[in-house]
Structure 1
């Protein structure tokens, strides 16, 4: 399977191949890492479908999108579906929907917790409350997720208003890519 570009993963996501028994339904921001795990372990029984990563800019859209994707996957014959999202700003709605839909879901408040382990992330949550988190995907798509949606491309003077209260930057690098650092 050829991985789509980050722009495609941001805007349209990734369709499932339709050949496996288990569907992992994830955010497009996690596609690189999930596909790496699937390939490294030869998990031919797993298909990956990614919803557009840009849904994170409107968390109220995540749960309806997941509900629709689960319904479509069941119509396509998937009997096992795993939701590789954390709460992602849904205020518990996604967890409630996963239970109603009888699908398993990743625990945790954000995908950032996946990269360092949910327990460790939660242990440090109080100390890193004023931290701005970045992943490789977010660094590559910073313009699409932060600069343009916040209007910083048109009003750079707003930078301090948006970011002035952050005390720490946490970059959870998944690769050793000098272009990203």
Structure 2
């Protein structure tokens, strides 16, 4: 039996039909602000954004199970075009295996530091950045909640040397040229006892990934 696709779509409930026409982007909450900014700048109004907890940045073992749940829910609501706004993000290849099983694309790269820099640029600086700790705009804003507290440094400050003793510099990869964020990033470097380096990246490869949708 041949099904007329347009007639089939018109038989869907109105919201489900609307979902059928959009791209559902399941994203790390740590890059939600950037995705919304890119969508506004480039008129990507077909993107339907769902964010998973940003704190999973510190607990990457939660990412793939969370994406599996979000994927099932999105498909149940009629979304057929789905994209994962995640890099590997510490999943050790588990995210790629999920993408292969389910036929889902993701942002290329090992983590957000890489795709914000531009994956090729980040790779070229591997040797130079070997002993670097990275911040993005999100982490500059949320340094206490996403670095100090998860590592227990607020309770056990003596752990700072154990965690960061082998680093030499803090590199702030900036998406927006914001002096207040630069001041926060510099304060984070001072707190950790690291040299400070500022690099403006903009949105890097994230823009290309979203525009390709």
Identify the TM-score tier after normalising by the shorter chain.
Answer: 0.7 to 0.9
Note the 1:29-108 alignment, pairs <5 A: 29-108=30-109
Change in Cα spacing, 1:66 to 1:32, as seen in structure 2 (3 Å) is same
- Structure 1 CA distance, aligned partners of 2:159 and 2:95? 32
Q: Please name the residue that 1:170 is paired with.
A: 171
What is residue 12 of structure 1 aligned with on the other side?
A: none
Q: Distance in 1 between matches of 2:65 and 2:127?
A: 30
CA distance in 2, matches of 1:44, 1:148: 36
In structure 1, distance between residues paired with 2:138 and 2:175: 9
Structure 2 unaligned residues grouped into runs of 5+? 1-17, 183-213
Matched positions, count: 165
Counterparts of 2:156 and 2:36, CA distance in 1: 37
Report the TM-score, using the length of structure 1 for normalisation. Answer: 0.86
How far apart, in 2, do the equivalents of 1:19 and 1:39 lie?
A: 21
- Partner of 1:27 in structure 2? 28
SS of residue in 2 equivalent to 1:121: helix
Deviation at 1:64, TM superposition (A): 0.6
SS at match of 1:54: helix
Decide whether the 8 Å contact of 2:132 with 2:167 is kept in 1.
yes
Q: TM-score, normalised by structure 2?
A: 0.73
| Cα distance between partner residues in 1 of 2:96 and 2:60 | 13
Post-superposition offset of 1:19: 8.8
SS in 1 for 2:171: strand
Q: Give 1:18 deviation, angstroms.
A: 5.8
Structure 1 segments, 4+ long, off by >3 Å, are 17-20
* Partner in structure 2 of residue 138 of structure 1: 139
Larger Rg: 2
